[in-house]
Amino acid sequence: MLVARKSLSHDLFMPNNDNAELAELLRANIEASNRTTHAVRAIVRFVFLQLTITTVSALLVAVGSALNLNQVFVPISSLTWIAGSLFAGITARRDLKASAIPK
């Protein structure tokens, strides 16, 4: 049985006892929104971590240059940047798994 409800712009016909279907659609909508949030968070977190790691590495190179100790600070900076980039990548992949579409 259909029940007519008056809308602002048009009549909307909804089944009378179809709350289960609406609840399922709402649940699916919330899950899709959560996946999108996790995906965006993964991208933003990766960029923020990469920016922070690159800034720290550049500061180490600048300190090495100022102290005339490039042979010490450039390798430390390089290792810091490589380790930080790996950490940022692993973190982003872990966060992206939270946004995977369930099978």
User: What are the pLDDT digits (tens) for 43-71?
Assistant: 999 999 999 999 999 999 999 999 999 99
Domain count, the chain: 1
Expressed as residue numbers, the domain containing 24 is 19-97
C-beta separation of 74 from 57 below 8 A: no
**3 located within any domain:** no
Which residues does 34 contact at the CB level (< 8 Å), separation at least 6? 99
**28 located within any domain:** yes
**8 located within any domain:** no
User: What are the pLDDT digits (tens) for 6-46?
Assistant: 545 444 555 555 788 888 889 989 988 888 888 888 899 99
**12 located within any domain:** no
